[in-house]
A and B are shown apart, each in its own frame.
Chain A
Amino acid sequence: MVGGGRSVLERSPLHRLPDRLLKWGLTGLAAAILALIAYFFIRLIGQSSGTFGLSFIFGNHWAPQINAYRAAAMLVGTLITSTTAMLIGVPIAVATALYLTELCPRRARTPLSLLVDLLAAVPSVVYGLWGVFFLAPKLLPAERWFANTFSFIPWFGGGAGTIAPTNYFIAGLILAIMILPIVSAVSREVLATVPNEHREASLALGATRWEMIRTAVLPEARPGIVGAAMLGLGRALGETIAVVLVIGDAPDIGKHWFDQGYTYASVIANEFGEATGLHRSALFACGLALFVLTLLVNIVARIFVNRSARGKSYGTGDQGAVAAGAVAQMT
C-alpha cells in the first residue's frame, strides 16, 4: 500500500470511503423506512377522507348499495371477537408458559415448547379452512346446548333459535388458537427473567411449588405477561382471513354470541374486489381505523413487556430485545 513518498502510516483517503459509504447508506436506509411509514399514514388518511369521521366509527349502517357507510358493526365485531380470543386464549397461554417454565421436566421442555410454537406456523387461511369445514359444524350442537342452558344470561345464551354456524364465538375461538403461541412465547421469555434466587428463597421458606409460583414468580412477571396478552390482542384485532371465513360477514351488530357479525379486516377482505369510489374509500377508512387501533395496542403492549423484561440482556441491555426476539420468531 505504500507508494511514492507516502509513509507507511498514511492511508489513502479512498480507504475511508467504503466505511463512510456503508455508514451513510445504511443510515439512509433506516431513514427511508421511517419515511415509508409516515408516507403510508398520509396516503391512507387521504384515501379514506370523505368517509372517515365520528359517525363512521360509531354509526351502525353499512349498505354499499345506497352508499351508506357507518361502521359501528365492524368496530363491535372486531372488539367482540378479539375479547373472546383473549378470554379463551390468554389464560391457557399463560398456563402453558407457567407449566413449561416452572413445572415441566427438563427433557420434555424443548419438544413441548416447539409444539406450542408450531401453532404459529400454521397459515391463517388453513385455520380458516379448518374452521369452516370442521370446527364450525362440529361445535354447532355444543353451541345450541350452551345457548339453551344459559339462556338466562343475556347475550351469551338465549339465542338458540338463531344460531348461525359461523359466528362471533367461532371466530373468537379460532383467534384464541392463533394468539396462543405468541402470548405463550412472550410469557415464557418474561418468566425466564425472574431471577432464580427468588424461586429458591421462596422454596426455602417452605412454599409448595404452586405457592412459589403464586408469590414469587407471578407478581414479578405480571407486567410482562400483561404485555404479552396485549401483543396477542394486537394480533387478534388484525387477523383477516381466518375470521372472514368463520364470522358470517353480516354487516350488522349481532344479537348474541352465536350470531353473525363483521370485523374491520373482514369487510375489507370481502368487499374490496368490486368496490369503487365511495365504497372503496369507506373500506380504506376501515383500514385506517384498524391500523390506528393495532398501533395503539402494540405500543402499549411493548411498554408493559419492557417494564418486566429486565435483567435478561443480549449484551446491549436492550430490554425490548427479549420480547422482540420472541415476537420476531413468532409473528
Chain B
Amino acid sequence: MSNAAKTDEQEATQVSTKSAETTTKPGTRQADPAPASAGHSVSVNDLHAYYGSTEAVKGIGIEFAANQVTAIIGPSGCGKSTMLRCINRMHEEIQGARATGQVTLDGLDLYAPEVDLTAVRRLVGMVFQKPTPFPTMSIAQNVAAGLKFTGAKNVDVKQRVEQSLQAVGLWDEVKDRLNSPGIGLSGGQQQRLCIARTIAVEPEVILLDEPCSALDPAATLKIEELIAELKAQFTIIIVTHNMQQASRASDTTVFMLDGLVVEHAPTKQLFTNPKDNRTERYVTGQFG
C-alpha cells in the first residue's frame, strides 16, 4: 500500500501507475461487450425515502448487477428518481429530505455514519436530465472539473480529459476547440460532455436520471449507444420514462409504482411476458 498520507486522493480501485492507454480506432465501435471483469454491484435494502413527512420510497430492495445496464421505469411520481438519488446520497441535499435503509456498493456500506458524502459521489457518478455544463468553464475545464476537487496530483489532467472525451465519442468533434465554452455545444453534445465529466473521475457506478428527455432522437440514439459501451467498465442504472428506450438500452428493468418495486426482470422478459398485471398494463400503455 503506497503512502496514503502523502497523496491527496487515494483511489484504492485504481493502481496509481496505471497508464490507461486507449486504443484509438477512429470510426469503429466496440460492438461486443468487454470480457467479464470485476465491476461492482449495487445493493439496495429496505430503502425508505422521505420529503419531510411524505414518504416517496416505501421500502425497496434491489440488486443492481455489475457491468449491466438496469433501467427503472414507472409513472411519474412513483419514486424512481428519488430512489436513484438515494444511491449517490444526493437525496439528502434537499432540505428536509432524508432516507433510511441500506445501500451498499460491492459490500461497502454507503450510509455508514463515518462515510464522507463526497467520497460516495466519487464512486457513484450522476448524469442529470438537463445537460448542465458549467457556463463559465471551457470544454476541457468542464471535463476536468471533478478532478480539480480531488487535487488530482497523480493524474495527468490533460490525458484524462482526452480519454474521457474519447470514451464518449466527443474527442474528434471538439479536439480543436477544447478551450471554447462548454455551453457552445449542441444539446446532445453537452450531455455527452456531462457524461465525460462524470467518467473523468473514474466512478464505479453511473446513475442517469432521464438523460435523454431533453434531447432530440438522433442525440438520444447516440447516448444509448454510448451507454451500451460504457457498461463494460461501469455499472449503469438509468431512470427513464421512455419505455422504448428502456427496452432498447437496458439488460434488466425494474418497474416501480407508488414507491415500491413491482417487478424486476431481464428486459426482454419484462416487456414481452410480464409477471405482474400492473406491469403489463403499464408497458402496454394503459396508464402512466
Contact = CB atoms under 8 A, between A and B. Distances in A.
Contacts of B126: 204
A213 interface: no
A204 B149 contact: no
Contacts of B136: 219-220
Contact of B119 (A105, A197, A206): A206
Interface stretch (B18-26, B171-179, B193-201, B266-274): B193-201
B96 interface: yes
Interface in B99-130: 118-119, 121-122, 125-126, 128, 130
B185 to A, nearest CB: 15
A106 interface: yes
B128 A207 contact: no
Interface residues of B, number: 27
A208 interface: yes
A97 interface: no
A106 B96 contact: yes
Nearest to A194: B135
A105 B95 CA distance: 8
A204 B125 contact: yes
B128 A200 contact: yes
Contacts of B201: 205-206
Nearest to B200: A205
A271 interface: no
A216 B89 CA distance: 19
B149 A200 contact: no
Nearest to A195: B132
Contact of A204 (B90, B130, B150): B90
Interface string B150-169: 10000000000000000000
Contact of B148 (A106, A195, A201, A215): A215
Interface in A196-246: 197-198, 200-208, 211, 215-216, 219-220
B146 interface: yes
A200 B131 CA distance: 12
A220 B132 CA distance: 13
Contacts of B135: 198, 220
A226 B146 CA distance: 27
Contacts of B149: 205-208, 211, 215
17 contacts: A197-B130, A197-B132, A200-B90, A200-B132, A201-B132, A201-B134, A201-B197, A204-B121, A204-B126, A205-B121, A205-B125, A205-B146, A206-B122, A206-B149, A211-B149, A215-B145, A219-B136
Complex A-B, nearest 5 residue pairs according to Cβ-Cβ distance, in ascending order = A205-B146, A219-B136, A204-B126, A206-B122, A206-B121
Interface of B: 88, 90, 93, 95-96, 118-119, 121-122, 125-126, 128, 130, 132, 134-137, 145-146, 148-150, 194, 197-198, 201
